[in-house]
């Protein structure tokens, strides 16, 4: 995937202002980590809807999610957020149909949850409730385990990762910030653009998304992305290979982690693909 302005600004910031805050403690062991290929791909069909078609015109119990091709002045629209339930199933936004759709772990349609607003994001909380962000406002709603929808407030984000130099960064698993993991980019030809803490496991492990680049070309910035699993002691255990980033619809929530398994939402022109890597 080629990114130009945003990635260029990130690259310029890293090169111009980042300073190392300490030598990485786990750099020597990073080369011994295990690189995991895609374990499987869950495929959910899409149906193309006309620009004038609305949720009120459609049967919301249809198993297929909806996508529009967009136009000269607007990009394609369709599923752009998801999360993974306790049983390994999926809860996916269907913004054109103003609903959430539940699927089994193998992509079988289970349930439609109609909404009276366009969803822009969904996040499952530890208690099983789903936090839903509205697309055209700052409103946040909560779908409780009983199926009722209430107004709510989003859980406050916290700063959990920081790029400290072109090849290094820090990730904190707790708000206290005393257990930082040193992230080291081994390839000297790559520059670290961003870090994101995706999840922390019950065993103290941390799952970190990295974006890096080899620089600028005629087509913009060539961005590479992967997810790493670090042990409670900060050792790099396993990581995905470079993830596909040729999105047809840019996701609001791209990556999720559940029980050591990394999931990536990728909406193409014909289907929703959920790429799966098992980092256990």
User: Do 223 and 4 meet the contact criterion of CB atoms below 8 Å apart?
Assistant: no
Q: Which of 56-65, 159-168, 253-262 has the weakest average pLDDT?
A: 56-65
Q: Which is more confident, 174 or 170?
A: 170
Residue-level pLDDT at 16: 46
Beta strand 181-184 with 168-171 is antiparallel
pLDDT of residue 51: 63
Task: Measure the CA–CA gap between 182 and 23, rounded to whole angstroms.
Answer: 8
CA gap 255, 277 in Å, rounded:
11
Q: How many CA atoms lie within 13 A of 256 on its CB side?
A: 27
Q: What is the pLDDT of residue 209?
A: 97
User: 10 Å Cβ neighbour count for 86?
Assistant: 10
| Whole-number pLDDT of residue 73 | 80
Reading the block at residue 137, the tokens are 């406002």
CATH topology of domain 42-152: Neuraminidase (2.120.10)
Q: For residue 154, is pLDDT > 80? A: no
236 vs 25, residue with greater confidence = 236
Which residue is associated with the tokens 């690259």? 11
CA distances from 50 to 54, 66, 97 (A): 9, 10, 12
Instruction: Give the pLDDT band (50/70/90) at residue 129.
Output: very high
Contact 261, 229 (CB under 8 A): no
Each domain of the chain, given as residue ranges in start order, spans 2-32+157-243, 42-152
- 3 state DSSP class of 204: coil
Considering only residues 145 and 131, tell me which one the structure prediction assigns the higher pLDDT.
Answer: 131
**Residue 275 pLDDT > 90, yes or no?**
yes
Q: What is the pLDDT of residues 216-251, one digit of tens each?
A: 666 677 899 999 999 989 999 999 999 999 999 999
- Provide the pLDDT for residue 158: 65
pLDDT exceeds 80 at position 23 = no
Maximum C-alpha span of the chain: 59
Per-residue model confidence (pLDDT) at position 21? 40
Residue 125 makes CB contacts below 8 A (sequence gap 6+) with 131, 155
The mean pLDDT of 121-142, rounded to a whole number, is 93
Residue 12 pLDDT > 60:
no
Quick one: pLDDT at residue 3? 46
Whether the CB-CB separation of 63 and 45 falls below 8 Å is answered with yes
Rounded to whole angstroms, how far apart are CA atoms 87 and 91?
11
Q: What is the pLDDT of residue 141?
A: 96
pLDDT of 277 reads: 98
Identify the pLDDT of residue 7: 46
What would the mean pLDDT of 164-187 be, rounded to a whole number? 85
Instruction: Measure the CA–CA gap between 224 and 221, rounded to whole angstroms.
Output: 10
Alpha helices in the chain (DSSP H): 5-17, 27-30
Distance of alpha carbon 36 from alpha carbon 39, whole angstroms: 8
- What's the sign of the alpha-carbon dihedral 134, 138, 142, 147? negative
* Dihedral sign for Cα atoms in the order 25, 30, 32, 36: positive
Residue, of 110 and 74, whose pLDDT is higher: 110
pLDDT at 13 (0 to 100): 44
Task: Flag whether pLDDT at 61 surpasses 60.
Answer: yes
**CB neighbour list of residue 194: distance below 8 Å, 6 or more residues apart:** 10, 163, 209, 210, 211
Query: What global pTM score does this model have?
Result: 0.85
Tell me what pLDDT residue 175 has.
61
Residue 161 has pLDDT above 80, yes or no: yes
């Amino acid at each position: 995937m080629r990114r130009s302005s945003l990635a260029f600004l990130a690259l310029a910031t890293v090169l111009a202002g980042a300073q190392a805050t300490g030598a990485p403690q786990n750099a020597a062991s990073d080369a011994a980590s295990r690189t995991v290929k895609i374990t499987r791909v869950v495929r959910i069909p899409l149906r193309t809807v006309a620009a004038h078609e609305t949720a009120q015109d459609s049967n919301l119990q249809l198993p297929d999610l909806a996508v529009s091709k967009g136009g000269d002045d607007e990009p394609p629209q369709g599923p752009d957020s998801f999360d993974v339930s306790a049983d390994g199933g999926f809860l996916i936004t269907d913004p054109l149909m103003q609903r959430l759709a539940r699927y089994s772990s193998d992509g079988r349609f289970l349930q439609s949850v109609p909404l009276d607003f366009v969803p822009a994001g969904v996040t499952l909380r530890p208690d099983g409730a789903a936090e839903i962000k509205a697309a055209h406002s700052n409103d946040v709603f909560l779908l409780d385990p009983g199926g009722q929808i209430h107004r709510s407030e989003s859980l406050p984000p916290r700063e959990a990762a920081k790029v400290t130099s072109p090849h290094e960064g820090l990730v904190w698993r707790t708000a206290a910030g005393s257990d930082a993991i040193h992230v080291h980019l081994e390839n000297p030809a790559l520059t670290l653009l961003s870090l994101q803490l995706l999840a922390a496991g019950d065993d103290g492990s941390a799952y970190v998304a990295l974006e890096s680049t080899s620089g600028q070309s005629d087509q913009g910035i060539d961005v590479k992305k992967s997810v790493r699993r670090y042990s409670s002691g900060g050792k790099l255990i396993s990581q995905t290979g470079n993830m596909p980033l040729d999105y047809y619809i840019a996701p609001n929530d791209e990556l999720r982690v559940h029980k050591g398994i990394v999931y990536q939402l990728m909406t193409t022109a014909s289907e929703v693909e959920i790429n799966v890597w098992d980092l256990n």
